[in-house]
Chains A and B, each alone.
Chain A
Amino acid sequence: EAQVTQNPRYLITVTGKKLTVTCSQNMNHEYMSWYRQDPGLGLRQIYYSMNVEVTDKGDVPEGYKVSRKEKRNFPLILESPSPNQTSLYFCASSQSPAEQYFGPGTRLTVT
């Protein structure tokens, strides 16, 4: 089954404790992306990747890092999380920057 998976689905952490949210797709897609969803703001793109070792900033990259060492994986790293990064995070993938398939989401709370 074609899918995008994210782990963990729920995470509560404390300020400053480094965390990684994993994203994996099994569709051999080249394009992958991370978004955060906040009430009243819709989805905002954090980072995207056109292919292995090719990443670029989206609209709200501050406080986040990504890597793309393998085509299927695109982890999101928060080196020093802060409460304003409490949000719902979505990973997405597509063959090109077009129709995207979204993961189920990761709800992150930073206290």
Chain B
Amino acid sequence: AQSVTQPDIHITVSEGASLELRCNYSYGATPYLFWYVQSPGQGLQLLLKYFSGDTLVQGIKGFEAEFKRSQSSFNLRKPSVHWSDAAEYFCAVGAGNQFYFGTGTSLTVIP
């Protein structure tokens, strides 16, 4: 069965520090991969996506993610975190006609 694992429930980083959010998936083929961000009380906004090609993808707000087939991972990174990045982050997999989301990682940014 398809699954998405975000092993970190909550992460705290200092403003200006680098960030990496982990995502692992289980799927027989190469899936479509996504990262979404959800601010409190808001809907989900797409940060970036991977369909094929270059395994390092750039997204909005200075985020990037790298697809590693051998590790079934799609980790999200940002070199310098801003206080406005505090939110919940979801990794998602598109498998066939269905989508599977991870349980989310809550990011706290401290000054």
Mask of A31-51 contacts with B, CB within 8 angstroms, 1/0? 101010000111111001010
Q: Interface on chain A toward B: helix, strand, loop, or mixed SS?
A: strand
Specify which chain B residues have a CB less than 8 angstroms from the CB of A83 in the assembled complex: none
Task: Give Cα distance in the complex from A56 to B96, angstroms.
Answer: 12
B: interface residue count bin: 20 to 34
Interface size class of A (residues with CB under 8 A): 20 to 34
The 7 closest A-B pairs by CB, nearest first: A43-B101, A42-B103, A42-B101, A102-B44, A102-B43, A104-B43, A97-B97
In the complex the two chains form, is A50's CB within 8 Å of B97's CB?
yes
Contacts of A92 in B (CB 8 A): 44
CB–CB A97/B51 < 8 A = no
Contacting pair A105 B43 (CB below 8 A): yes
Q: Are B100 and A99 in contact (CB under 8 A)?
A: no
B70 at the interface (CB under 8 A from A): no
With beta carbons under 8 angstroms apart, the residue of B42, B90, B92 that contacts A104 is B42
A-B contact count (CB 8 A): 57
B35: min CB distance to chain A, Å: 11
List of B residues within 8 angstroms of A31 by Cβ: 97
- CB atoms of A59 and B103 under 8 A apart: no
Of the A-B pairs whose beta carbons lie under 8 Å apart in the complex, a sample of 10, sorted by A's number, is: A43-B44, A44-B101, A56-B97, A92-B44, A97-B94, A97-B99, A98-B49, A98-B94, A99-B49, A104-B43
Known contacts A98-B49, A99-B46: A42-B102 contact under CB 8 Å: yes
A90 at interface, CB cutoff 8 A: yes
Give the interface of A toward B (CB within 8 A): 31, 33, 35, 40-45, 48, 50, 56, 58-59, 90, 92, 97-105
A57: min CB distance to chain B, Å: 9
Give CA–CA (A26, B56) in the complex, Å. Answer: 32
